[in-house]
Amino acid sequence: MWKPILSAPFECDLELAVLDEDGEHALVFPCMRTRNGWKNATTGAYIDIHPTHWRDWDAQRAPTDDRNSVPQLP
């Protein structure tokens, strides 16, 4: 279940949903919230993103480009 981004925990692998020019979609790599911003949890590189929702990263559940798998924003 997707949760509002403001409730995202720090220092945990998370799956993030973002809204961009292509619409809503889930990122295909785990991300981590830090005091300095968001980073790719696999590479450790900081990334410039503005996620809208999060859920726990499940390595067995590969994110897809299925628009129904991300939260519908009002």
Q: What is the pLDDT along the chain (74 residues), one digit of tens a residue?
A: 999 999 999 999 999 999 888 888 999 999 999 999 999 999 999 999 999 999 999 988 755 544 445 555 54
pTM: 0.79
pLDDT for position 71:
59
pLDDT for position 61:
72
pLDDT for position 67:
46
Over the chain, what HEC string results?
CCEEHHHCCCCCCEEEEEEECCEEEECCCCEEEECCEEEECCCCCECCCCEEEEEECCCCCCCCCCHHHCCCCC
